[in-house]
């Protein structure tokens, strides 16, 4: 069951009128915000970016520090909050140490 209205709205990330995600993807305030303000297309883009980050940096998702890294990247991706989205630099592949 969707937690949010399925009416089209202006996405906070892309600015397009689109379908909202319609549910909180995380059990946090950020998850509620994303579910209400981000469209389904932008969420799909984030899932691809997240997969790239996990694979490129060799992120161990069972490590709480890696969760914070991904949450920070998510805030930057959706809301431009933070310094800069991590860039995929093939010279540093697998070099992140938690």
Q: Structurally, how many domains does the chain consist of? A: 1
* CA–CA gap between residue 8 and residue 25 (Å, rounded): 19
Mean pLDDT score, 57-84: 88
- Give the domain CATH number at 75: 1.10.3880.10
Residues spanned by the domain of 22: 9-79
Question: What pLDDT sits at residue 35?
Answer: 96
Is 97 within a domain? no
Question: What pLDDT sits at residue 1?
Answer: 42
3-state helix, strand, coil in the chain (%, to 5): 45, 5, 45
Is 33 within a domain? yes
pLDDT at 73 over 90: yes
Q: What is the pLDDT of residues 11-66, one digit of tens each?
A: 999 999 999 999 999 999 999 999 999 999 999 999 999 999 999 888 999 998 89
Is 2 within a domain? no
């Amino acid at each position: 069951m969707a937690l949010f209205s399925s009416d089209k709205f202006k996405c906070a990330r892309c600015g397009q009128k689109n379908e909202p995600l319609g549910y909180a993807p995380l059990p946090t305030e950020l998850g509620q915000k994303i579910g209400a303000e981000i469209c389904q297309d932008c969420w799909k883009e984030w899932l691809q970016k997240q997969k790239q980050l996990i694979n490129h940096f060799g992120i161990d998702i069972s490590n709480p520090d890696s969760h914070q890294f991904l949450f920070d990247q998510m805030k930057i991706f959706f809301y431009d909050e933070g310094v800069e989205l991590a860039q995929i630099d093939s010279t540093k592949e697998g070099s992140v140490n938690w």
